[in-house]
Chain A
Amino acid sequence: MKWKARIIVRLKEGLNDPEGRVIGKALKNLGYKIDELKVPKYFEVVFESDEPEKEVEEMCKRLLANPVIHTYEYEIESLGE
């Protein structure tokens, strides 16, 4: 079976996000009332597997996220045979 995973990797709560801070500041300069802006990473992965959940979990743990500083979430869509 083929699958498409949409994975979001975020910085753990409380860790400061310098890129987000700078982008937030730029939006403020454009006149918006920004309280907080964060820049998570978003991945789209098309892959073949018999155990999609297990493999996406592994992909996150082994490479896409760094467990020291990140949390992650994902959804998996079936693309059929």
Chain B
Amino acid sequence: MPKFAVIVFPGTNCDFETVSAIKKAGGKAERVWYKQSLKDFDGVVLPGGFSYADYLRAGAISARAEIMEEVKALAGEGKPVLGICNGFQVLTESGLLSGALRPNKIPRFLCRWVYLKVSDTQTAFTQFYEEGEVIRMPIAHAEGNYYADDLSKVKIAFQYSDEKGSIVEEANPNGSLLNIAGISNEKGNVLGMMPHPERASDKWLGSEDGLKVFKSMVEYAKR
């Protein structure tokens, strides 16, 4: 059974939920303090939260921590690396994914449920979804406005949509370019997303649409 590290920085706060979502999806998972090592793990999840209180730019300080060198090495080996919310911000800040997450167009913290269209099923985290499937998950962020001046190295995995899967301006909560909610690298083994799949991993949470992110990841790591 593949084993995942859920990295905890000072200020991370979604680590426990993320561990339990991975376990529910059939994987092993452990919380790993950022000063520990990533030896013997088959994949990494950078969970949500407010690492270093979002000082400088969200994710900027964590992205320069030593453990990120190990994360880069792991990603280079083709192992799955998932960044959720603050974790996505860490991935762009570290250069593992291109682009940047800017403050929301209307500058306030957004905490609400959104619809997403699955735009790419050829990644380690979306293989169990159908192309174009519409799913429901919560967002909770102040800096989720995706921007890039060059999209050539980016594969769009999730886009904010309406209930029917149309990518319309009204469904864009934060001003993201092309309604982008999640992207992956070209290889599809590094993915960042602003919505929280771990908060949509059981029916009693209001949705279990996010569970397939973890199931896909666990399955991918078995290869």
Contacts and interface: CB of A to CB of B under 8 A. Distances in A.
A15 B56 contact: no
A23 to B, nearest CB: 10
Contacts of A63: 56, 60, 64
B64 A18 contact: no
Contacts, number: 32
Interface stretch (A29-37, A48-56, A64-72, A73-81): A64-72
A69 B60 CA distance: 13
A19 B100 contact: no
Contacts of B105: 16, 18
A80 B105 CA distance: 45
Contacts of B103: 18-19
Of the four ranges (under 10, 10 to 19, 20 to 34, 35 or more), the interface on chain B belongs to 10 to 19
B107 A18 contact: yes
Nearest to A20: B107
Interface string B67-106: 0000000000000000000000000110000111011111
Contacts of A15: 102, 147
Given A63-B64, A66-B100, A69-B100, A19 B107 contact: yes
Contact of B104 (A18, A62, A66, A69): A18
B149 interface: yes
Given A63-B56, A63-B64, A64-B56, A69 B107 contact: no
A71 B102 CA distance: 15
A22 interface: yes
A67 B183 CA distance: 19
B187 interface: no
B23 interface: no
A18 B145 CA distance: 11
Interface in B95-122: 98-100, 102-107
- Sort A-B residue pairs by CB-CB distance and give the 7 closest, nearest first: A18-B107, A68-B100, A69-B100, A18-B103, A66-B100, A19-B107, A22-B107
Interface of A: 15-16, 18-19, 21-22, 62-64, 66, 68-69
Interface of B: 56-57, 60, 64, 92-93, 98-100, 102-107, 147-149, 175
